[in-house]
A and B are shown apart, each in its own frame.
Chain A
């Protein structure tokens, strides 16, 4: 098209000729011109691109490069994650106060039903603290997986308008859930301690073990992140799976002993063993061993080891699976 330009010879870069279209011929008035085919063979196009030092778009970057760009975007991931948590409580008179009120109301339901109405012990000394700790930690897992599943499909507009490593999205939704959990943890500890004052329930003293709670939450966060990566890819490729995830999560809910002690209910030894060491049950156990003072839930190094193991396994597999689909997100 530069036929009118001052240089009659064909332009080139580093000895590679830059292919050009021959001068346009104006079509007959109102007619649709015939489609223009390829400009030059693929090899020549690639050679021109390489000579000009261009980068190929829409291909999966190497793993190391991917992790590096992800690390460079950490401010973006953090800001997006915390902004979403903040936006959740916008648009009401009490605003951010709801981040405390919400978990408070939530735990009051359990206190009333399990502490005052149904006076079952479920094989533990303080059922209220047991259930409140279980529910809050489980909700963190549940919410992270649900939000992770929608992190690509729900942000398709963002994916199609700005360029960034897509793994930022599942990470930021998990951060959103972690930010939401923060105030809830304080409520959780306060309610647990208060429930210990009830005459019927076992005491929940404040001990040094509480310092380990952030570690347990941190491990669960890493595990959640791995799960979020996995489901994000699955749902992005096969949207139908988003309908199945709630049922799978409910299954995990009952299999993890959130509101009752699994070993107290399940008679089959092999099954009880399996349910006890599956990841979510492990994290609930870890959190409870730091908050509660139950003789049946001591601080157990085996459990902490398992907690670290599950977290690393989930995050490494999840991240690799997610990265392998990188070039597909946004098109479907």
Chain B
């Protein structure tokens, strides 16, 4: 999450048309069954030795070297999440930092293999992110080609969509300059535009709406609506509850890798808001 997160207050008032839940739901597009994702972390210290008993001096001496040699920790980022999403649904995912939102999104996009459990998806899911890797020393034009091909488009399709992508990103002639000359906003917009070029069955968006000016946000919202209208499923991870409430009909609340609430956006967001507030005052 390298981009500014707290853009809650930047959402324009006219964006706040609450998503209506009256949309007809189709067949399941995503089935997540008891999903676990474990990361292997080298050189970390074992966390959570909360037994209360202080280990003996000898034990501590022996275990001291473990951090430097052979220090291996398994971090459970997602611990047993199950849900079913259906065509035409747009689902928000909320949770505090480090709760496993991005990992969940990547696992259901098939990018991080599950340690346990299974994920079933319709078609080729596509993860929209502002951190998709493009090559800084190459021009935006070349990166559009690489990004488009990476998403599974053919070279001809990318060439066909090139103008659309550049228009959507709104960076103009800067597309012919190397990407490392771009401002962070320009880079993020180009990445978003590239990944939005393909229309997938299941679209997952990780914080991407936070980038760009009001006009760009409007365009991204329109694009998401278009995908949803084509009976796709949209997932959105964002720290902006206003964005989630305006785009998503249903919201999942993830806490410490577990699903704690799953229901209509308004209810879940309200409960989550109250929880964060309580955390603050504690």
Interfacial residues, chain A to chain B (CB-CB below 8 A): 1-2, 4-5, 11, 13, 18-21, 23-24, 26-27, 29-40, 42, 45-46, 48-49, 52-59, 72-73, 75-76, 79-80, 83-84, 86-87, 90-91, 155, 157-164, 239, 327-332
Contacts and interface: CB of A to CB of B under 8 A. Distances in A.
Interface string B65-99: 00000000000000010111010000000000000
A83 B119 contact: no
A265 B35 CA distance: 60
B275 A31 contact: yes
Nearest to A89: B137
Interface in B30-75: 30-31, 33-34, 37-40, 42
A249 to B, nearest CB: 23
B212 interface: no
A290 B276 CA distance: 72
A72 B151 CA distance: 12
Given A45-B33, A87-B137, A161-B132, 15 more contacts: A20-B84, A26-B270, A35-B255, A39-B82, A48-B28, A49-B120, A76-B146, A86-B138, A90-B178, A158-B132, A161-B106, A164-B150, A331-B39, A331-B113, A331-B115
Contact of A54 (B111, B121, B137, B146): B121
Contact of A26 (B40, B135, B155, B267): B267
Given A30-B278, A157-B133, A49 B31 contact: yes
A21 B150 contact: no
Main secondary structure of the interface of B (DSSP, over half): mixed
18 contacts: A18-B86, A35-B259, A38-B80, A40-B82, A52-B27, A52-B29, A55-B123, A57-B120, A58-B114, A79-B145, A87-B137, A161-B106, A163-B126, A164-B152, A329-B113, A330-B111, A331-B37, A331-B113
Given A32-B260, A38-B82, A162-B127, A155 B268 contact: no
Contacts, number: 208
Contacts of A79: 145-146, 149, 155
Given A24-B262, A33-B271, A79-B145, A54 B120 contact: yes
B contact residues, range: 35 or more
B119 A58 contact: yes
Contact of A328 (B30, B80, B113, B151): B113
Contact of B138 (A21, A83, A158, A330): A83
A164 B132 CA distance: 13
B274 interface: yes
